[in-house]
Amino acid sequence: MSLDIWMRENPLSYIWIGSYAVAFLIFAIEIAMVVHKRKITLQQVRLMREADESEEG
């Protein structure tokens, strides 16, 4: 069955899979990336702090 026929027979599935699922997947990926970036940055800052403390000590 071609996409044209399928989309006309299943408009809500077409909308949900094509638009909303893609949009929410993009949002989920963005949130995951932002959370990951924060974890990495915090880790770097902690390492720098530990290095500074060991130098002073």
Partner 1 sequence: MAINWFKYSAPTTFYGLAGKLIPWFAISAAVLCMVGLYIGFVVAPADAQQGEFYRIIFIHVPSSILSMFLYLIMAAYAAMGLIFNTRLSSMMASAIAPTGALFAFISLWTGALWGKPMWGAWWVWDARLTSELILLFLYLGFISLHASIDDPRRADRAAALLAIVGSVNVPIIYFSVQWWNTLHQGSTIKFTGTSMHIAMQQAMFTMLVACWLYAITVTLMRVRSIILERERHTKWITELAEVKS
Pick the binder of partner 1 from 9, 18, 28, 51 (CB under 8 A).
Answer: 18
The distance of closest approach from Cβ of residue 54 to partner 1 in the complex, given in angstroms and rounded to an integer, is: 13
Which tokens sit at 26? 């993009």
- Nearest 5°: the CA angle 23, 7, 10 is 90
The sign of the CA dihedral 34, 35, 36, 41 is positive
Could you say whether residue 52 binds partner 1 (CB under 8 A)? yes
Sequence-distant (≥ 6) Cβ neighbours of residue 7 within 8 angstroms:
14
Could you say whether residue 28 binds partner 1 (CB under 8 A)? no
Residues that bind partner 1 (CB under 8 A): 7-8, 11-12, 14-15, 18-20, 22-23, 26-27, 30-31, 34-35, 37-38, 41-42, 44-46, 48-49, 52
